[in-house]
Amino acid sequence: MSWLRRVLNTVRSSRTQDEIERELSFHIAERVDDLRARGLSEEEALRRARQQFGSTLAQRDRTRDADVSLSLDDLLRNVRHACRALLRTPGFAITVVLTLALGMGANTAVFSMIDAVLLRSLPFPDADRLVRLTEITETSGEITTAAVRLYDWDRLATTFTAITNYVTEPVSDTTGVEPEMARRATVGPRFLDVVGIRPALGRGFTAREHRMGGESAVLISDRYWNRRFGRDPNVLARTVRMVDRSYAIVGVMPASFGFPSDDIDWWVPQFGDAPWTQNRQFKGFFGVGRLAPGVTLDLARRDLARVQAQLATQYPRTDSQLRPQVTPLKDALVGSVRASLWLLFGSVSVLLLIACVNIAALLLARGAQRRHEVAVRYALGASRRSVALQLLTESAVLALVGAVAGIAVAAVISRAFRVLAPTLPRLTDVSIDGRVLIYTLASTVTVAVLCGLVPAFRSSRTPTLRSSTGRAQLSARQPLQWLLVGVQVALSVTLLATAALLVRSLDKLSRVDTGFEPANVLTFRVSGAFGEEREYIRTVERINRTLDELAQQPGIEATATTLSLPGLPGGVAEEFRLVELNRDAPITAQLRAVSPSYFDVLRIPVLEGELCRRPTDEHGTTEVMVNRAFASRYVRDRSAVGLHIAARSPDRIAGIVGDVREIGIDREPVPTVYHCFSAATPIPLYLARTHGDPRAAIDPIRSTLRRLEPLRSVYDFVPLEQEIDNAYAQNRLRTVVLVSFALTALSLACLGVYGTLSYAVSLRRWEIGLRIALGSSRMGIVKQFLVLGLRVVCSAVAVGLVMSLAFARGLSSMLFEISPTDPATLGGVTLLVIAVAAVAVLVPATRAAVRAPAHVLRAE
């Protein structure tokens, strides 16, 4: 097996070398013996034997070359040589390594996010079979559905292993001395079948526990077990307390399990027979299902559509207008981040590409300087392959060192991302692990090849010594170098245009008139739960009392409750009917449930009519407020005040308020109906308008509630401005990152322009000197180089603009009130690039002309 031997020889080349030496010295020893037998002295014999044999060293190498074609030795020698060559030019090496470290570091960091957020599957067995189930209606779009409908789907659909539902809410944990906030998930039957995880300790829920009046039961998280019970192995005999009731712990979930979110402490059984789960219109339940083995998404969708058609005939009033929606759970969780992440990844890859092109240009210039060295190596008998390999090794060494430094950079960037984008889904999964390192390794190889191949090929093309002195043979035009520069400029124009559009969007967003005043408003929650009071009116009374008491505190001007914060993405559209106007077309509007004081707290003016009154009965108000958009769109020829609006029961429109960007500050105000009910849920969001810094009100609020509701926890204190900020943190981060990429790209491109032109000038300095000596005008020479550089820059800018326009459509969903082809932005970018590049061109062009010709000519 000669090839096997060859391979083995490559690996154990040192042994072979030793063997060859032994074989050769044996030969010499035998020859010496023979010569001595013929009567020569020992020294003479040795001398003659050596002479006859020639250089042992050369023999050894030639013999070894017969053994192995490409040995590890060659590689090591190349690496050694490369390191030495690079250390001789530390400036060059450091520039390249730093460029690569930044380029690959940023690339690795973004990839680690993509990997964690988009590529890796969720931490469940066969996680790709998990789907989110929602319903879509004409008027409200995709929304969560009713628990009873999910029960029906589970019962009737044949393509699912199981379907379940859940809701999460913060509750007051009174197990310890002080009440604390605990995150509770109320889960439907078969929840554990869907997620495919069993409790690490104990059991799941029984059917009886899923019925009202059944035994109380709770599954606790590993974290909670640790925090509250110190991992007590007898925890199954213990209970937790919620407000004033005890729940028997029936099991502990594994540490790795965190669904619907990582911070869930308790899972409690949903009562399948409760009024709120049996109500087909009470749509607040998240549906999640597990597809049966072998079932495709498409099949499941058709199956569920069939089931829903059946339900529509059975319950025409509630079920005929909706369609079930099946989305892979991962897609549902990742949602809008996907586009942003790919945008970041795309731009960071473009940046890396620019860096590679830059390095390739540097290597090319370096190759030109090393013509002499290469020519000498050819003269000494090196093959083109070995010279090219040597040059490639250099770029491989650079790429490798750059990658190692890049991983360190990536670790830093990752940490920064976590701080800057805390709302990113699955953020805790982001880490630099084996997969990411493999990616880095792969990109290192790509980078080494991208950077090194063309220069290695080019530079190894000079086989004679003469060319190293023949100045005339050096082309000063270097079309390849200029092409590389053009690519850099074009790519950086594209990046800059994208970044500029995002910046302008963000700027417009920060100046938008939202219709309310978020400054000096504090938001928080007070724990509570459905079913904690026998009569809901008690809950209504409690919330109203809390609002009134808090409003009396010094430093607090007014308080309100709401179901959702204004200015944050989200919201539910509902279908209404105006009782007095006999119109066929349905009216759709956002429905928000707020306390009447909401408008005062947020400084939303009442434009017409008067403020609704606070309802005192348990079903809420009979009065609503509508915004101006609602009134002007749906009630044209008369005042909307006094009309009755009906979703289920008719409510009187008490007044009209100003338009507010309720469903996101990046969205135009839409017709909105405000349901004046402070207690639409037991755990509404509280808003407090404060005098001065909202954070100063935290302590007074805590102490008031301790006095008022000693068993409840108060938590999630966040100023409203910050909430809105956080909601758009992803936008901001995306913009900041992209701007920094774009500016880096621009500076790299300018370095490329500068370097290439400087080099062109240096090659022609003799010619320039001569021309000046012969009376050429210096301005003419400056102009000549200026034209040379700017011609490349301008055509590259044009190409870059065309590329930006091509990418514009993908970008439009991330922009706010600006077109992706906005001429002002693109024009500005064009001017900026040309201006900056002009400076990069002007410096070497001027330097060419100011040199004293005599000096240059003498130096030659």
Partner 1 sequence: MPQRKNDVLQGTLALLVLRTLDSNPRLHGYAITTRIQQASGDLLRVEEGSLYPALHRMEQQGWLRSEWGTTDKNREARFYSITAKGRKQLVAEQETWANLTEGVGRVLRTV
Residues near partner 1 (CB under 8 A): 2, 5-6, 19-20, 22-24, 26-27, 29-31, 33-34, 52-54, 58-59, 62-67
Select 53 or 569, whichever has its Cβ closest to partner 1. 53
End-to-end alpha-carbon separation of the chain, Å? 60
Beta carbon of residue 58, minimum distance to partner 1 (angstroms, whole number): 8
**CA 496, CA 829: separation in Å to the nearest integer?**
7
Beta carbon of residue 91, minimum distance to partner 1 (angstroms, whole number): 43
Select 58 or 835, whichever has its Cβ closest to partner 1. 58
Beta carbon of residue 14, minimum distance to partner 1 (angstroms, whole number): 16
Beta carbon of residue 76, minimum distance to partner 1 (angstroms, whole number): 21
Do the Cβ atoms of 14 and 76 come closer than 8 Å?
Answer: no
Tallying the residues shown for the chain, one arrives at: 860
Apex CA 794: angle with CA 790 and CA 795, to 5°? 120
Beta carbon of residue 427, minimum distance to partner 1 (angstroms, whole number): 57
Beta carbon of residue 66, minimum distance to partner 1 (angstroms, whole number): 4
Determine which helix (DSSP H) or strand (DSSP E) holds 381, and give its type and residue range. Answer: none
**Strand, helix or coil for residue 148:** helix
**CA 514, CA 720: separation in Å to the nearest integer?**
13
Select 22 or 583, whichever has its Cβ closest to partner 1. 22
Residue 106 C-alpha from the chain's centroid: 12
Max Cα separation, the chain? 135
Beta carbon of residue 40, minimum distance to partner 1 (angstroms, whole number): 17
**CA 574, CA 576: separation in Å to the nearest integer?**
6
Beta carbon of residue 734, minimum distance to partner 1 (angstroms, whole number): 59
Q: Which two tokens stand for residue 834?
A: 């040309």
Do the Cβ atoms of 219 and 266 come closer than 8 Å?
Answer: yes
The label of the residue with tokens 């993509």 reads 114
Beta carbon of residue 388, minimum distance to partner 1 (angstroms, whole number): 25
Beta carbon of residue 384, minimum distance to partner 1 (angstroms, whole number): 22
**CA 726, CA 660: separation in Å to the nearest integer?**
19
Within 13 Å and on the Cβ side, how many CA atoms surround 221? 20
Beta carbon of residue 22, minimum distance to partner 1 (angstroms, whole number): 6
Question: Sign of the CA dihedral 729, 733, 739, 743?
Answer: positive
**CA 214, CA 497: separation in Å to the nearest integer?**
63
Q: Which two tokens stand for residue 279?
A: 């109500």
Q: 641-652: b or e for each residue (b if 16 or more CB lie within 10 Å)?
A: bebbbebeeebb
**CA 407, CA 413: separation in Å to the nearest integer?**
10
Beta carbon of residue 377, minimum distance to partner 1 (angstroms, whole number): 22
Do the Cβ atoms of 171 and 196 come closer than 8 Å?
Answer: no
**Strand, helix or coil for residue 154:** helix
Name residue 466's amino acid.
Answer: R
Question: Sign of the CA dihedral 588, 590, 594, 596?
Answer: negative
**CA 813, CA 579: separation in Å to the nearest integer?**
38
**CA 649, CA 644: separation in Å to the nearest integer?**
9
